[in-house]
Structures are given as structure tokens and as C-alpha cells.
A and B are shown apart, each in its own frame.
Chain A
Amino acid sequence: MIKKRLLVLLLAAVMAVSMMACGGGANKDAGADTSKQTDTAGDDNSKEKETEAPPEKVTLQVWIFGTTGYDELSQKYTEANPHVTLEFNSIASGDHHDRLFTALSAGTGAPHVTQIDVDYMPRFRETQNVFYNLYDFGANEIKDLYLEWKWNLGLGVDDSFLIALPTDIGPTAAYYRMDVFEEAGLPSDPDSVGKLISTWEKFKETARTIKQKTGKPMSDSVELVFNALRDQAQEQYFNEKDELIIENSPYIKQAYDFTVSMIKEGLLGTYSLWETEWNAGMSSGSYATLLAPAWMAGVIMGNAPDATKWCITSMPEGAGNWGGSFMAIPKQCSEAEAKEAYNFIKWLCAPEQQVESFKMAGLFPCAIASLDDATLASTPVGDGYFNGATAGVFAEAAKQIKDVYKGKHYPVANAEIVKALYTVALEGADPEAEWAKAVEAIKNAIRE
């Protein structure tokens, strides 16, 4: 009798414990899920161990997102450093950053190495102390290898703290439809189109011609035209004290006004970014240009695998950056492990590996040496999908990008202004009223 009761109690206890374990289960599952590469790397370890006395063995967890090809690329690293085992864990970007945020907030559960998207950096910057300062590991030595503006995005609140090493960037260019340009009786090779839209006034002029001859808009959406103009501004939304300056600083307002003037003439498309019709529009050639970063090549090819008329040329009046990532080391592992982690990301972010990951996954390099790499400049984008356009156009763009202060409230401010533009384009709203409303909303949102 008593035995039976005890058994029941035990069962109940086991159930309680096992259910509680579910909470932490995600981590364990993820651990078990890591790519097969871990196993093979382990095998290599054991073979090579016999020949040389290795440094202390270490297993590094690496969290990445999206398509990077880093796990495949890193096999070279584990071959050369057999004492290191890498456990890669790749999930979708949104989930990745939420999970990282939770682990950092909880103070436990973060990996040794994590990738961070440039858009999420402001979220972590103010609390830089949850990461190791990479300058402590000698990151200063490699600083000059990279584009300055990109390197600075990896800094903490003060310049003596480096949160992360730069991996890739998203320099922008003008994707365009050759058939639409031809239909409008215009030349369609990259050089001529580049000249045709070399300034924003010329861009608008060409837009009028295309609208007249074909009835098609110049651009897919209002957002991408505005983004392009905004990225060329001398100042963005905030000054270094994080005060909103767009009411006095002319640049953002000029970008807004120019976009509005094109909307008013009916020269811009009414798609919203990422909506179904926007994706579908890539195959139909219903607009002439798409002002977008290097990684958009993959999106276009994915959405319009059969299209043959896409090509790439330079943006009017310079380029901007959209996207790109960093590699950071959360301060939850020992100093020794962090050192190993640093050695790994230093290798991963080195110019040679950046060229490799561009070839493998299309991640555009930010190391100056890789940008000047002759093979990169002559690599056809998308294996010839873009009618002979080479990566050189993006390499040129990368060097033109300005180092402008954005500040922690940048996403909020930008979202409001872009929303205002959509309202003008889709609802025919009064642009001045929408601008005032957006400025008001930004001011309200950033109050503390």
C-alpha cells in the first residue's frame, strides 16, 4: 500500500519536474539540433590529436541567422584548429534576435559567439557591458582592414568599447528592367542607364519619359526612393545628443519633398515593401527601377526565377547601406573561451573569408582588401542572371557610403516618415500635414 502511494508521489514529482524542464527545453533541443558538421569536426579532432599536443579543447556555440554559409566555411577553421569544436545554430532573423535578447537579459543561456544584424545593434549598444570589449583582445590591430563607417557601427556608446566585428554590408545600387527602358526608347546597357540617372533631376526626367512612353512607374515603391535619398543626406534624423533635428536640418525634408514631388506626378509605384504584390511585381516588369542593396539580388532571383531582363547600375548621386551584420561575444563565458571565440571571429571576418562568403552566400564584404579584390569586382552577380552586371558596382557603392550619426531612435523616426509617405501615395493625403503628424509622433515616441 505504502509502496504504491510512494510510487504515485514519485510519478507526480517526476511529472512536475519533467514539465518544468520543458521551459528550458528549447535550448537543449537546439543543442541536439546543431548541424552534423559538429560530428565530423569532432572526428577530425580525434585523428589529429595523436600527432600534436593541442591546446585545451574548447567547444564554441555560434548563433547565426539567415543564409550565411558560415558553418560550411568554418570547416576550414576547425581543420586548422582541431582543438576547437564549433556548434552552429541557425534560425530566422527575428527569432534569433529575440532569443539573444532574452538570453542576455536573463544573464544565462547566451552562446559564445553571436551574429547581430545592424538594425538590432542600437538595442544592444547602450548596454555594451553584456558583451566582451573586443578591443581588449587586440581588435585595434585589424581596425584598418575594414571600411570605417562599418567598423564604427560595431562600437558601443563610447569609442573605446567594441561590441562586434563587422561581417557583411548591403551597399545599394539601382536594379533596373532593361525591357522597360527599351520600351521607352531609351538605351538599356548599365553605362548608359547609369548616365541617364546620374543625378536625381535626371532620374526624375527619365521617370517622366518612361511614364509617357510606357505608362509604367519609375520605381516599385515610395519607400526605396526615399531611402536612397535619405542615405545620401549629410545629417539624418538626430544629432549626437539624440535630439530630433529634422525640423531645422534640411536634408531629410528635402528627401521627403523630392519623393512627394515624384508621387504627385505619378512617377512612383504604389507597392508596399514585402507585400505579396511587391514580390510578384519583380517578374512582371511593371516598373523600371528598384533601388536596393546587394542582397536584394537574391530576393529578385527568388521571386522572378524566369525573368531575364534585370540589370544593375549605380544609384543617382552616391550610395547607401541597408543591412549587414556583426559578430559579438556575449559576456557569459570564461575569459579563456572568449579568447578562443575572438580568434574564431577574427578569422571569420578576415578579408579572405569575406570573399568566400560572398561567393557562397552573396554576403557583401566590408573589408577594404576584399572590395579591391579583382575576382570580386569581376564576379557576375547572380551567376549572370543580371545580364552581365558584376559585383564591381556594389564594391564602388560601398566606398561611397557616408558615416553619418543615426542614433538609437533612428528606427522609430524613419518608420514614421516612411508611413507618412505611404499615406501620401496611397491615400492622396496632404504631404505637409502628414509630415507634421509624423514629426509630432516621433517627438511623442522618443520622450523619456
Chain B
Amino acid sequence: MSELVTQRQSGLQKKYRFTEAKRNAISGYLYIAPFFILFAIFDIFPMFFSFYLGFQKWNGLGEMKFYGLRNFELIFTDPIFWESIWNTFIIGIISTVPQLIMAIILAFVLNSRLLRFKNFFRVSYFLPYITSVVAVTLIFKIIFSNHETGLVNILLNYLGFKSISWTTSYWGIKVAITIMIIWRWVGFNTIIYLAGLQSIPNELYEAATIDGASQVQQLRHISIPLLRPAITFTVFTSTIGSLQLFTEPLIFLTKNSIRQEGITMVLYLYRDAFERSNFGKASATSIVLFLIIVIVASLNYYLSNTIGTRKRRD
């Protein structure tokens, strides 16, 4: 009898300390802990630290000095900073817009029943995405060489145009980088759209075909409106991607000659931090960049959300 009581008591006591639900919760948290611990160390902490650094003067080794808003003043009065914003947006627009349009068309073609060897094309379009950015940029650098012997310049000469000095001219740099981005990302977006297209019920197309709608009409009135979630996603990722554009211009221009014709926002802050050991100013730039991304991304979200809704209303 007394044994039983103590047993029950001890059982109760245990339940008091950790209920079943709590125990589950704890093990659950422990399972996801590795990610969050790493995330805290490598993402959360640096994020807040750079907010703090934005108001300091620091060369990375010595003492920090409180600088107030001086870093921001330096940035906003530097014409190259504005140039970097301009470049980022220009490259962003001329790479994203044609890219997404191309991706939709490609996805539509790949999804069409008329095309043969579909898997081959799907794989080929996606392949650039899994290549290394650095390697690709190095190869593009050779293709877009400044000299008459460069592949693109040979082509231009053949077509009767003058050679272009791709790494120094105002539009040369931008166009070369844009082509690199499009080449690399168009396949990725195509696959996203293709997945979106395949989730659209076939009956809609069949009905449209019976009603005599052409392929183009089907694309405009069925595919695009129903692709809205996929479009929102790709516009979102492409926008953030182009605002963070860094590796391509860095490798294309090489570290020692980051020219203002091709400098992007991230490149601007990278140069301040790692070339000029001015971590305060670089962090301040990253805060500005953060705000710009928030504004652009929300604007973007709003706009791409309206694409399908208006179409659906007609």
C-alpha cells in the first residue's frame, strides 16, 4: 500500500517537473536549436553589431570612436554613393525585366505539348544556375574582353560595329554584367514558372481551345493570372538579388579597379570596409541599403500582387 503511494507520488512529482507537452516542446526546441544558435551567432549578432557600428568610426583593429551621424553625412555627400545606387537600379531593371519576360515565355514553350525533348531543354536552361559565379564571371570576362581579340568584339566588328572597351565604358560594364545575370538566372525563373504552369488545371486550356483561344491568348488570360504567386516570388527574389549584386561586378572589374561606372551599393560598402578599413562608414551604408531594400521590396510586393487581380477582373 505505502509502496504504491510513494510510486504514485514520485510519478506525480515527475509530471510536475516536466509535463508530456513540455517535454515534447523542449526536445522540439533542442532539435531546431543548432540552426538558431548558428543563426544568432552569424546573422542576428552581426546585424545588430553593424547597426551599432554605423554610428562609430572603426578601422577594424583599434578603438572605436563614437561618430554620431558623420558616417551618413559622408555617404550622402559622396557622389560615388549616388552613382552606386543609380548603377544598382539600372542594372537591376535591365536585367530583371527582360529576364522574367524571357522566363515566362520559355516556361510556356517548355510546358507546351508541341515541344519534344522537354527534359533536355529543362536541364539545359537550369544548368547555368548551378555553376559557380566566380568561374562564370571569369569566363565572361574573357568573352567581354576589351581587346579586338575578344569574342564579343570580334562579333561586333563582324557586324560592322566598333569594338567596345567592356571594363571601362559606361554602358559596356552594365551590359556585360546584365548579360551575365540573365544567363545565370533565366533558367531558375523558368523552372519556377514551369512548376506554376503545371499546377494550372488542364481543363482551363482545353475549354479555351474549344472556345477558339489562340496560344497567345491562353498565355495572357489563363497562364499569367494563375501564375501570380510564382511571379510574385520571382519578382521578389530578383529584386533583392539585384539590390545585393556584388560578385559579378567585383570579379569583372577586379578588386583593384572598382570603377564608378560599375560600382553597386554592396560593392561600395565592401570597398569601404575591406579595402579602406572604414567599417563604420561601410556599416552605415549597409543600414541605408537595408532601408532601401525594405522600401523597394514592399513596393514590389504591392505591385506584383496587383498584376493578376486586375486581369482577373476583366
Residues of A within 8 A of B (CB): 5, 8-9, 12-13, 15-16, 19-20, 23, 98, 101, 104-105, 123-124, 126-127, 130, 270-272, 274-277, 411-412, 415, 418-419, 422-423, 426-427, 440-441, 444-445, 447-448
Contacts and interface: CB of A to CB of B under 8 A. Distances in A.
A418 B168 CA distance: 12
Interface in B131-176: 141-142, 145-147, 149, 165, 167-169
Contact of B61 (A5, A16, A105, A270): A105
Most buried by A among B57, B59, B142, B257: B257
Contacts of A16: 30, 33-34, 37
Nearest to A447: B74
Nearest to A428: B165
User: Chain B CB within 10 Å — which of A5, A418, A426 has the most?
Assistant: A426
Contact of A427 (B30, B147, B168, B260): B168
B23 to A, nearest CB: 7
Contacts of B146: 270, 272, 275, 277, 426
A105 B49 CA distance: 14
Interface in B40-92: 41-42, 57, 59-62, 74, 77-80
B169 to A, nearest CB: 6
Contacts of B15: none
Contacts of A447: 74
Contact of A277 (B27, B80, B145): B145
Given A422-B168, A426-B165, A444-B80, A5 B34 contact: no
A291 B27 CA distance: 67
B61 A19 contact: no
A418 B256 CA distance: 10
A274 B142 CA distance: 12
A20 B33 contact: no
Contacts of B167: 272
Contacts of B206: none
Given A98-B274, A272-B167, 16 more contacts: A9-B27, A12-B33, A12-B34, A20-B34, A104-B61, A123-B61, A123-B277, A124-B61, A270-B147, A272-B257, A277-B149, A415-B257, A426-B146, A426-B169, A447-B74, A448-B57
A426 B168 contact: yes
Contact of A101 (B33, B57, B61, B276): B61
A427 B169 contact: yes
B268 to A, nearest CB: 11
Closest 5 CB pairs of A and B: A127-B61, A127-B62, A12-B30, A426-B165, A16-B34
Given A105-B60, A441-B260, A20 B27 contact: no
Contacts of A270: 146-147
Nearest to B14: A2
A445 B60 contact: no
Given A13-B30, A427-B168, A444-B80, A5 B23 contact: yes
Contacts of A19: 34, 37-38
Contacts of B277: 123
Interface in B231-284: 254, 256-257, 259-260, 274-277
B31 interface: yes
Given A20-B37, A277-B149, A422 B23 contact: no
Contacts of B168: 422-423, 426-427
A124 B62 CA distance: 9
B65 to A, nearest CB: 10
A57 to B, nearest CB: 32
A404 B229 CA distance: 63
